[in-house]
Structure 1
Amino acid sequence: MSLLLGPVLRHVGDTTATVWVQTDTSADVEVLGCRTRTFEVQGCHYALVPVSGLTPDSTIPYEVHVDGIRCWPEADTPFPPSVIRTRGPATADRLKVIFGSCRYPKTGDAKLDEKLGLDALDCYATRLTSSPVDEWPDALLLLGDQVYADELTPEARRHLAGRRSSRRSANRRPPDEVVSFSEYEGLYRHTWGDPEIRWILSTLPTAMIFDDHDIRDDWNTSATWRADINAEPWWRDRIRAGLGSYWVYQHLGNLSPSELEADPDYQKVLAADGDCWSLVADLAERADSEVDGEKGLRFSFRWDLGRSRLIMVDSRNSRILDGGERKMLGDREFAWVEHQVADDLDTIDHLIIGSSLPWLLPPALGDLQTINEIAAGRTGLRGQLGEKIRQTADLEHWPAFLASFLRLSRMIADAATASPDGPATISVLSGDVHHSYAARADFGVPTETRVHQLVCSPVHNYVPAFVKPAFKLGWSAPAARLTRRWARRAGSPELPVSWRNLSGPLFGNTIASLNAKGRSAEVVFEQPTDDGELTEVATIGLSAPLPSAG
């Protein structure tokens, strides 16, 4: 009996936690006296152990036993013990979360690894091993592209080529992209199996949301994109495997133990006798399908973190594209997000909204996406050209779904102005765009709540040289004035929000931390140096200055 992957520490509350593992065979998995049986998906075995009875505001080292045999920590490990740090009254007013997106794995190819640079999360894990436990972050937020299903490492491509050449279906599947669940399983094991990454995932509560590369580049860009990809003979296998593996590896751990108990799909999987791939494939199909303007599964979720709150928004799979509609989220899911944001808003100090895609892009680039959406919506050759430009230039962020952008902006504005006792800060955390920045939003009305867009990308990937000037130009005031006039002439309404850049664009591998104490907060961006250390490249205060005494 052994662990193939994990443990991954996921949701942690005041008295509960969940620990995810993958084992080599069907087994009982035990953590801190709490036990569960693995479930099977296409011959692979998984467990999400609900741990209960913990003491609030405590730090508890834990082990993982598989059929009574200790499998974690590994013998002779160089890493500190994995721990569960619960929240509670004593820590309710403090929070430290690290976040980032776009983490490509180490490849073993010296030339390619040099091009990719040092992994910022790997460097952070190394630093953590020598830091006091009470200084560790309270959570790790992975904001998309946890795996790259369409951009494989050289070794993975060679392995896949061998599989394709020996399969009858080889000519029906792309030679350099994963398609099946078992191929996704190999991708996750390679990406999360790095020793430093495996350890940090075992000891920091980790929340995750996907972006396009977890499935495929430009996933759900438009109705045309969906129609074209659905015509590929291998796509149904791919989307079932991609969403099914996401549900197993990433989504389940985002849920609290009580949410897991109430989740009908998870309960069916636990009750299944033998391999439950058919159940997972069915939920993946429901998640992908649009019915009456809604998706069949919600991947957005909420974490309560003392006097802070995280609302993670699915801005990829939840898109509504059929029947002439174009929404980032269906109305039912958007209403759920709005309710979670507004719920007892005056009881929290800091509201965090996670979205793999930035809400506020460099202004000129945001306007260009809106202009393109208007153009692509026209009939005839102009619409076809607009669609071609949209797919070629990746114009599919929030401003390219203008109605949803406006609704999100109104929701955030309402939260910022609802009450003087509301949150001191609202921070939208995002990734995807391969540069990092902090921007402050202004809704044109007085408010004590400071609102920011915070982007950290990539954690470990390279930035093509030609895109750097484009991002810099996107922040320039003259370019923004020009594109805003163009957007207005094209039919865009006046936007309810303006924003200015406070830091960036920062290029290179980056990890960011949001640090809050009381009603004060700041964000820190760090990048690896050649010796593997992290150096601070920007620190931005997020909260309004406290009034001086007297």
Structure 2
Amino acid sequence: MTAHLLIGPVLRRVVGDRATIWVETTAPARVRVEVAGGGAGTAQTFSGYGHHYAIVIVSGLVPGSANEYQVWLDDRQVWPQPESPYPPSVIATRAAADAGQPVSMIFGSCREATPEATGRKLPPDALDAFSRRLMTDPRSPELRPDLIVLLGDQVYADKTSAKVRRFLRRRRPAGHDGPADEVVSFDEYTKLYLESWRDPEVRWLLATVPTVMIFDDHEIIDDWNTSASWRRDMSSQPWWSERIASGLASYWVYQHLGNMSPDELAADPLLAKITSVEDATSLLHDFGLSVDKPTSAENTDRPYQWSFALDVGRTRLVMLDNRCNRVLTPGRREMLPAAEWGWFVDQAHGDYDHLVVGSSLPWLMPPAIHHLEAWNERLADSAGPRRAAVAERIRRAFDLEHWAAFSRSFAALTELFRRLGEGGPEAPGHRVGAGGAYAAPASISVLSGDVHHSYVARADLGPAVATPVHQLTCSPIHNQVPVVMRPLMRFSWSRLAAKAVRAVARTSGVRRPAVRWKRLAGPYFGNAVSTLRHSGTQADVRVEGTTKDGELITVADVHLRDA
């Protein structure tokens, strides 16, 4: 059977003179990537659930170049497509001595598929708009970012498009035991990625700019791992085990596999097993089930670490799993189990200038919502069963499950940033200054999404903290907040709202957080993509929204730190 390219190529990581490229094909094939000017790699597809994938490590790239590449399946060239109106995709590398070169990354979250697939009248897709701008000169370092950072809800398993719903009705037998309009099986998950990543402009962009990703709740289901009682309720559903196994296995294949560097891929035991068998269906299914084991305060071992870290020039990015490995023990809730938190703190050590933390859920929310979540967590942990039950219903109904609703983790993250920003020999992490002296990072930024509005907020961690610390939230890329909700969300940023909710929280013994924060830009409710740029010790962020005509316009431009 002749293999064709179904999804991809997706350029995932570029590390030195190597790159990784992910593809999905229609049949088993030998995948070969050839780069003009030098660089090549091959890999055999692996198969699972009747689908075929490959992750190709390309070696021998020329430092400091941006060269076109071709993808071959067996003896047939399949990329670039001859009929494509778009410019050829390129792989760009940084110069060998790149310490002084600027670093830029675009980021955002919450992207529904194209309007043709969804049937919804959403504002223009910000990722489409960014792609069209980059097409004007794909080699331009001013237009082309070093990295795309996608912060969750890349697909919506629980809010499917009209196209996917038609597919579900056609393929499922009568009396199917499961939610009618939501995906459950691995094969159904593949349709979500197919309709999202084959959007022509997005397909070209993913083939041209390296991309890293982390999930949020909608890759599995709304409110995923909100609380221990939520897990118990979901586990009682007869279709849940297949949903969680399929969701996590498909996430590993489509998203997480490409987050790993070439060295990490070579050392990954799961990839080694999957590529050594003819059919990896049972391996993927068992893996999906095994990594959903609940993490408790007593058992903090993580079944699998989804968090990861990488360096781009003098910038360190640490992407955190805010969903799968949560500790949900009442009274001892944690965003990350102890072992993974220790790993995160270790990543904060090292020789870098700027620290960027990718967190699908914002660390700093509108103050009124922060106090509401902290108050709700306190009530949910109360000894009175009736009060705790009411608080739990409120928690689920209003999605009160951000960092503020995991107060131990919020406090720990705040303290880590404070100690980092103070610098000195006792700091838990630092960059190494001239002569080996300890120095605080030039900037710390938390990139987030989820909340369907974009904003920039600066944290005040006390006079001893020289490092500017910011919350940078960009959401949605392609979705929208109901118009009736926008005044309420704006009000949640007001001093009046914060003061009122804080007073309620104080009656339950909730302490004032050890950080104060001020909104510098936003809230912006349109579709948007943001760019974080580091140049030396300077840091800037730009938020760009989309016009009705699908063009990008700047809605916020904030200097986070001057050189």
Fold agreement, TM-score > 0.5: yes
Give 2:308's match in structure 1, choosing from 301, 314, 331: 301
Aligned AA for 2:16? D
TM alignment of 1:153-302, pairs within 5 A: 153-164=161-172, 166=173, 170-272=175-277, 274-290=278-294, 292-302=299-309
Verify: 1:425 aligned to 2:430, yes or no: no
Matches of 2:109 and 2:26, distance apart in 1: 29
CA deviation map 1:241-300 (0-9, x unaligned): 00000000000100001111111111111112x111111122222221035223300000
Structure 1 pair 494–530 and aligned structure 2 pair: CA distance change class (3 A): closer
CA deviation map 1:316-357 (0-9, x unaligned): 11212258642111110111011101x21xx32211100000
Question: What's the CA shift for 1:173?
Answer: 1.1
Give 1:463's match in structure 2, choosing from 481, 488, 495: 481
Q: Is the 8 A contact 2:294 2:325 kept in 1?
A: no
Matches of 2:453 and 2:117, distance apart in 1: 24
Secondary structure of the equivalent of 1:260? helix
CA deviation map 1:170-202 (0-9, x unaligned): 431110000000000111011101110100000
CA deviation map 1:123-162 (0-9, x unaligned): 1101111135122111111100000000011121122122
Structure 1 pair 261–507 and aligned structure 2 pair: CA distance change class (3 A): same
Q: Is the 8 A contact 1:440 1:499 kept in 2?
A: yes
Verify: 1:142 aligned to 2:150, yes or no: yes
Matches of 1:470 and 1:90, distance apart in 2: 49
Matches of 2:273 and 2:507, distance apart in 1: 53
After superposition, the CA RMSD in angstroms is: 1.5
Secondary structure of the equivalent of 2:255? helix
TM alignment of 1:319-330, pairs within 5 A: 319-322=326-329, 325-330=332-337
Secondary structure of the equivalent of 2:158? coil
Matches of 2:465 and 2:63, distance apart in 1: 34
Provide the TM-score with structure 2 as the length reference. 0.93
Aligned AA for 2:22? W
Aligned AA for 2:501? T
Give 1:5's match in structure 2, choosing from 4, 7, 11: 7
CA deviation map 1:87-146 (0-9, x unaligned): 234443311111100000114279x443x1100100110111113512211111110000
1:352: which partner in 2?
356
CA deviation map 1:388-421 (0-9, x unaligned): 0000000011100101111111112222112463
Secondary structure of the equivalent of 2:322? coil
Moved more, 203-212 or 151-160: 151-160
Aligned AA for 1:288? D
Moved more, 525-534 or 414-423: 414-423
2:104: which partner in 1?
96
Secondary structure of the equivalent of 2:8? strand
Q: Is the 8 A contact 1:283 1:297 kept in 2?
A: no
Provide the TM-score with structure 1 as the length reference. 0.95
Matches of 2:417 and 2:477, distance apart in 1: 27
Aligned AA for 2:139? V
Give 2:134's match in structure 1, choosing from 108, 128, 131: 128
Q: Is the 8 A contact 2:124 2:549 kept in 1?
A: no
Aligned AA for 2:356? I
Aligned AA for 1:415? L
Secondary structure of the equivalent of 1:171? coil
Matches of 1:349 and 1:323, distance apart in 2: 38
Verify: 1:43 aligned to 2:50, yes or no: yes
Secondary structure of the equivalent of 2:218? helix
Secondary structure of the equivalent of 1:213? coil
2:433: which partner in 1?
none
Secondary structure of the equivalent of 1:290? coil
Question: What's the CA shift for 1:492?
Answer: 2.0
Secondary structure of the equivalent of 2:229? helix
Question: What's the CA shift for 1:447?
Answer: 2.9
Q: Is the 8 A contact 2:48 2:279 kept in 1?
A: yes
Moved more, 370-379 or 155-164: 155-164
Matches of 1:322 and 1:443, distance apart in 2: 29
Aligned AA for 1:265? L
TM alignment of 1:76-95, pairs within 5 A: 76-93=83-100, 94-95=102-103
Q: Is the 8 A contact 1:294 1:320 kept in 2?
A: no
2:454: which partner in 1?
436
Matches of 1:298 and 1:439, distance apart in 2: 29
Q: Is the 8 A contact 2:374 2:510 kept in 1?
A: yes
Secondary structure of the equivalent of 1:321? coil
More helix, by proportion: 1
Matches of 1:193 and 1:237, distance apart in 2: 26
Matches of 1:92 and 1:290, distance apart in 2: 42
Q: Is the 8 A contact 1:18 1:51 kept in 2?
A: yes
Q: Is the 8 A contact 1:107 1:153 kept in 2?
A: no
1:118: which partner in 2?
124
Moved more, 203-212 or 467-476: 467-476
Question: What's the CA shift for 1:449?
Answer: 1.1
1:492: which partner in 2?
510
2:435: which partner in 1?
none
2:30: which partner in 1?
28
Matches of 1:283 and 1:86, distance apart in 2: 34
Moved more, 286-295 or 274-283: 286-295
What is the aligned residue count?
536
Matches of 1:254 and 1:132, distance apart in 2: 23
Work out the percentage of aligned pairs sharing the same amino acid: 47
Matches of 2:492 and 2:301, distance apart in 1: 34
Structure 1 pair 402–322 and aligned structure 2 pair: CA distance change class (3 A): closer
Matches of 2:511 and 2:330, distance apart in 1: 24
CA deviation map 1:192-231 (0-9, x unaligned): 0111010000010001000101110110001111100110
Matches of 2:309 and 2:153, distance apart in 1: 20
Q: Is the 8 A contact 2:362 2:448 kept in 1?
A: yes
Verify: 1:62 aligned to 2:69, yes or no: yes
